[in-house]
Structure 1
Amino acid sequence: MKSMIGDRIRELRTSHRLSQTELSKLLHVSQQTITKWENGKAEPSSGALAKLAEYFDVSADYLLGSDKTSEPKSVDLEKDPVVLSYGGRPVSEEDMDVIKAILERHKNDGDVHYE
């Protein structure tokens, strides 16, 4: 029996190029548990649901099938003021300039695809 939550977990896991085993280790559950979730034979606990949502940066509502958006909200770094952190520390203006330069270089190389 297929389930919306199972489909969403599989979609997110594969889009992040994770095996079931890798995801199971991240969530501290068995690989068989991930299989059961994805096949609709079991559903994650509320704690596991919260961990999935946090790891994949989606809402619990999305995982449950009531929120149609799958992508985190995009932010234009040039136009929108945004607070970013890495490793619990805020990203400095200098670091942001480096990030922008890297993105521009990859954009010009064709490595990054923009819509």
Structure 2
Amino acid sequence: MTETVGSALRHIRKGRGESIVAVAKATHTSPASFTKWENDQTVPSERSIRKLADYYDMAPTSLLALAYPTKYATPTEQLSMAGKTLIRAEDLFSSDTVLTYDGHALPDDRKQLIAAFTAGLFLRSKQSN
């Protein structure tokens, strides 16, 4: 799965145990903007990414490559994404999505069970890295 800039920002923030409001205030950003970034509704500007990287005491290159892959991703990263459809796992389980198997819509309880299992796989993967 390809990570998005929003999921990376959320992972960093939660890993530090900070709230959206605290990070937004410290980086002179509105909490509403930060929420939109984390939910991949909008992409932070390069300037905002650099401010966040400075706040998190990290190099901005990895975040910039996620937000602006054609400008900042390495040629290898660009090739690995070329011609592929990016699907966020979160979108598979949203209330607006109908998940099907073998041509039949899955009931909500099955969809929730699959979502919980998938979340567990991702958490386990992050813990082993």
Task: Show the counterpart of 1:13.
Answer: 13
Pick the structure with more helix per residue. 2
CA shift, 1:25, in A, is: 0.2
Q: Which has the higher contact order (CA 8 A, sep 6+)?
A: 1
* Residue 49 of structure 2 is aligned to residue 45 of structure 1: no
Task: Show the counterpart of 2:104.
Answer: none
Distance 1:25 1:3 in 2: 25
Identical-residue share of aligned pairs (%)? 30
CA shift, 1:23, in A, is: 0.7
Contact 1:3 1:39 in 2 (8 A): no
Structure 2 unaligned spans of 5+:
67-72, 75-129
Change (3 A) 1:39 1:3: farther
Q: RMSD between aligned alpha carbons?
A: 2.1
Distance 1:42 1:3 in 2: 15
Contact 2:27 2:55 in 1 (8 A): no
Distance 1:55 1:25 in 2: 11
Contact 1:24 1:30 in 2 (8 A): yes
Aligned residues: 66
Task: Show the counterpart of 1:34.
Answer: 34
Task: Report runs of 4+ in structure 1 exceeding 6 Å deviation.
Answer: none
Distance 2:21 2:37 in 1: 13
State the SS of the aligned residue for 1:41: coil
Contact 1:27 1:51 in 2 (8 A): yes
* Residue 4 of structure 2 is aligned to residue 4 of structure 1: yes
Task: String of CA shifts for 1:29-80, please: whole Å, max 9, x gaps.
Answer: 111111100011111112111111111122222113348xxxxxxxxxxxxx
Change (3 A) 1:29 1:23: same
Task: Show the counterpart of 2:122.
Answer: none
